[in-house]
Amino acid sequence: MSMTFQEASERVDRYISQFREGYFPPLLMLARLTEETGEVARVIAHMNGKTPKPGEDVGDLELELADLLFVMMCMANEQGLSLERGFERMMQKVETRDAERWTRKEPGPS
């Protein structure tokens, strides 16, 4: 399955819109984003040598990153922002600003 940021944002909005409470206020969403970032950090630590607590799972990095994306989409939707447009703007910025910042790989054999 493949979807655009717009399609994903619309799916998140359909889900959230079915509840009276709607989106969390911005500061609570920021707290959620911070919490999910910590969960990503925990999984990466477990994948790179930190031993999980007894009974604790190593974790699922893919799912934790998706949790982050969900909260970011909620934040963008609540603020009326487009992650698709923001991503395009960000890529244009790094592709221009950082075009010569890193050492490029040599072309491989054809």
Which of 13, 78, 64 shows the shortest CA–CA distance to 36?
64
The alpha carbons of the chain give a radius of gyration, in whole angstroms, of 18
Structure tokens at 82: 């487009």
- Give the model's pLDDT for residue 56: 81
**What do you get for the CA distance between the two ends of the chain, in Å?**
32
State the pLDDT at residue 48: 92
pLDDT beyond 80 at 110: no
Q: pLDDT, tens digit, for every residue of 3-33?
A: 999 999 999 999 999 999 999 999 999 999 9
The pLDDT tens digits of the residues spanning 30-85 come to: 999 999 999 999 999 999 988 878 888 889 999 999 999 999 999 999 999 999 99
Predicted TM-score (pTM) of the model is: 0.86
